[in-house]
Homo-oligomer: A and B are copies of this chain.
Amino acid sequence: MSPILYALEHGKSKLSQMERKLAERILASPGEIVHMGITELAEQCGISPATITRFCKVLHFKGFPDFKVKLAAEIAHSDGSPEGSGSSYQDIVAGNPLSVIVEAMQANHLASIRDTTSLLDLERLQSAIDVLCRARRVDMYGMATSSIVAQDFYQKLIRIGVNCTAFADSHMQITSASSLQEGDVAFAVSYSGETPETIDALSCAAASGAATISLTSYGSSSLATLADIPLFSSSLEQGMRRGDMASRIAQLHIIDILFTGMVSTRFGDFIPKLEQSYLNVQHYRHKRGGQS
């Protein structure tokens, strides 16, 4: 906790009634305070602006604006997660004020990325990258939210000239999987690891002789068991319906690592293609008279 908030918390007992109201309001959501005027804050606390100015002077600030700037600087260091723990998932419920939602979401997403990174098995990740780099063709499978992740990887791979498909349609996924061969890669994404359509597609791909990679939430699941190289994103403890938001961020995080790993491995091959795809989009647009 930042020095200012700490001082407020611990000095509370010494403060007078009105000052305490103020201190409590500030502690309740410091992030909001920095975007408030003195009048607004005064009203919310049921006190007068004069009291606030005096209070800031007591704390040795030059005034209220000075206090705000210093406070903003301090709370920026923290994650927004209460008690600075760094890794706690927050649940979000009805009627929460927006500031709480924002803080909770930040805490969740940061925790999710951290947890996912710390769970990574580098060797396994490297072998996934190697397999992908050598792939003649790559198939992506995923339904609903996971289809977004699959699409994202698809877009990236296309840009470096990897022969890749990512059908959203489960029948097409199966059809595509049937036509894979040895040397091809099937990459399946699923939050639960139990999505039947995705499992079917990956099974089919394995039967066709393709190497299989799964990306699921951490823990044992049918999809992970099935895959040659199972990769994991962190699973979220609270409120399952909420889980897929943080999980998707974590999965994209892994996708980014995979992609960057691929580019880094085959720099010479891939970077020129990446440049070219970028330039071509630019070029086409300029012809039409638009901008970047």
Contact = CB atoms under 8 A, between A and B. Distances in A.
Interface of A: 32, 34-35, 65-66, 68-70, 72-77, 79-80, 92-96, 98-99, 101-102, 105-106, 109-110, 113-114, 117-118, 120-123, 125-126, 129, 144-145, 148, 151-152, 155, 192, 194, 196-197, 199, 222, 241-242, 245, 248-249, 252-253, 256-257, 259-261, 264, 267, 271, 274-275, 278, 281, 285, 288, 290-292
Given A106-B113, A148-B152, A245-B260, 5 more contacts: A35-B66, A73-B73, A109-B256, A152-B248, A241-B275
A147 to B, nearest CB: 8
Stoichiometry, copies per complex: 2
A69 B35 contact: yes
A288 to B, nearest CB: 7
Task: Find the residue from A123, A125, A196, A288 having the highest chain B CB count within 10 A.
Answer: A196
Contacts of A75: 73
Contacts of A148: 148, 151-152, 155
Interface of A is mostly: helix
Contacts of A118: 76
The 3 tightest CB contacts between A and B, nearest first, are: A196-B290, A94-B267, A76-B76
A146 to B, nearest CB: 11
A32 to B, nearest CB: 7
A260 B105 contact: yes
A242 B278 CA distance: 12
Contacts of A145: 152, 155
Given A113-B113, A264-B95, A278-B241, A102 B122 contact: yes
Nearest to A74: B76
A114 B79 contact: yes
A245 B253 CA distance: 9
Contacts of A120: 102
A109 B73 CA distance: 19
Contacts of A267: 94-95
A170 to B, nearest CB: 11
Contacts of A242: 260
Contacts of A114: 76, 79, 106, 110
A253 B253 CA distance: 12
Nearest to A266: B94
A98 B126 CA distance: 7
Contact of A252 (B93, B96, B241, B252): B252
